[in-house]
Amino acid sequence: MEPESRKTPEVEHLRKAAEQDDVASLIDAMRDSPLEVKTFAVGLLGTVGGERARLTLVSIARDRWGEHPELRIAALEALASLVEKDGYADFLEQFITDENRRVVAAARRMLKAVDPEGLPVRLVERRALDHAAMKVYGSSGEASAVPLLASYLRERMEAGDIASAGKWGKAYAAVKALGNIAGPASVETLEELLARLEEAPRPADGTLAAARVDKIEAAARQALEPGD
pLDDT digits (tens, 9 = 90+) for 34-53: 999 999 999 999 999 999 99
Exposure string for 165-180, b = 16+ CB within 10 A, e = fewer: eebbebbbbbbbbbbb
Tens of pLDDT along the chain (228 residues)?
Answer: 555 545 688 889 999 999 999 999 999 998 888 999 999 999 999 999 999 999 999 999 999 988 899 999 999 999 999 999 999 999 999 999 999 999 999 999 999 999 999 999 999 999 999 999 999 999 999 999 999 999 999 999 999 999 999 999 999 999 999 999 999 999 999 999 999 999 999 999 999 999 999 999 999 999 999 864
Q: Is 99 exposed, middle or buried (0-12, 13-18, 19+ CB in 10 A)?
A: middle
Q: How high is the pLDDT of residue 6? A: 56
Global pTM reads: 0.89
Give the H/E segment covering residue 168: helix 168-181
d(CA 148, CA 124): 7
Q: Which residues of the chain form CATH 1.25.10.10?
A: 8-116
> What pLDDT sits at residue 15?
93
pLDDT value of residue 228: 47
Predicted local confidence at residue 31, as pLDDT: 87
Cα separation, 165 vs 174, whole angstroms: 15
End-to-end Cα separation, the chain, in angstroms:
49
Determine which helix (DSSP H) or strand (DSSP E) holds 132, and give its type and residue range: helix 131-140
Would you say 189 and 153 are in contact if contact means Cβ atoms under 8 Å apart?
A: yes
DSSP string covering 48-113: H--HHHHHHHHHHHH-TTTS-HHHHHHHHHHGGGTS-HHHHHHHHHTTSSSS-HHHHHHHHHHHHH
**DSSP-assigned letter for residue 2:** -
Query: Which amino acid is present at 40?
Result: F
* Fold that domain 8-116 belongs to in CATH: Leucine-rich Repeat Variant (1.25.10)
Position 87: which residue type?
A: G
